[in-house]
């Protein structure tokens, strides 16, 4: 039992490393994109920035789901990678359908992965909200500057 818990905690640390990498890449992208003016069609530019940011962050989460699936396959928990990936995705997102289950001592990995997924989506959401706040401030300032120019 202790070995399974330690393995799960190590997997969580690996996922944190994947998440940090995705966050750094996403933050660097946004830092570059935010230096650009919003242009004549600001909503389109904002949508594009948010889309790229969301894609980068979701790739980071997808890599983590695949990492857990690979771990399940290595441990022999599932007969094929597709089933392992499905279970991992359902668990990571805390959907927990219950149609595919871990057996024996490996059942302890399920709650650890679910907790990991909640934390990683929380981190993803925090960065996304921060970006929304920064873009909103920039957009409001641009709107104010336009209205001041029109006086």
What pLDDT, in 10s, does the model give residues 67-86?
Answer: 999 999 999 999 999 999 99
Domain-embedded: residue 151: no
For position 6, which CATH number holds? 1.10.287
What predicted TM-score, i.e. pTM, was given to this entire model?
A: 0.85
Domain-embedded: residue 77: yes
CA distances (Å), 122 to each of 34, 93, 141, 146, in order? 23, 11, 29, 36
**What burial class does residue 92 get, using C-beta atoms within 10 Å of its C-beta: 0-12 exposed, 13-18 middle, 19+ buried?**
buried
Share of the chain above pLDDT 70, in %: 98
How confident is the model at residue 141, as a pLDDT? 83
When divided into structural domains, the chain yields a total of 1
Domain-embedded: residue 103: yes
- DSSP string spanning 47-81? HHHHHHHHHHHHHHHHHHHHHHHHHHHHTTSSSSH
Q: Which domain holds residue 71?
A: 2-34+42-141
Domain-embedded: residue 146: no
Q: Pick from 29-33, 43-47, 88-92, 129-133 the range whose average pLDDT is largest.
A: 88-92
Domain-embedded: residue 148: no
- DSSP string spanning 26-51? HHHHHHHHHTS---SSHHHHHHHHHH
Which residue do the tokens 């001041």 mark? 148
Cα 98 off chain centre by: 23
Domain-embedded: residue 147: no
Domain-embedded: residue 114: yes
Domain-embedded: residue 97: yes
- CB proximity list for 142: less than 8 A, separation 6 or greater: 37, 38, 42
CB distance 48 to 151 below 8 Å: no
Number of other residues whose CB lies within 10 A of the CB of residue 91: 26
How confident is the model at residue 150, as a pLDDT? 58
């Amino acid at each position: 039992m202790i070995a399974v818990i330690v393995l799960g905690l190590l997997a969580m640390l690996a996922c944190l490393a994947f998440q940090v990498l995705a966050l750094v890449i996403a933050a660097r992208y946004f830092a570059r994109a935010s230096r650009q003016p919003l242009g004549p069609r600001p909503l389109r530019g904002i949508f594009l920035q948010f889309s790229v940011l969301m894609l980068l962050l979701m790739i980071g989460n997808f890599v983590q789901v695949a990492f857990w699936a690979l771990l399940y396959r290595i441990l022999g928990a599932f007969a094929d990678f597709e089933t392992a990936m499905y279970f991992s995705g359902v668990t990571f997102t805390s959907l927990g359908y219950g149609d595919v289950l871990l057996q024996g001592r490996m059942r302890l990995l399920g709650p650890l992965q679910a907790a990991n997924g909640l934390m990683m989506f929380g981190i993803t959401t925090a960065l996304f909200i921060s970006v929304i706040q920064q873009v909103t401030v920039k957009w409001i300032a641009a709107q104010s500057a336009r209205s001041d120019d029109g006086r």
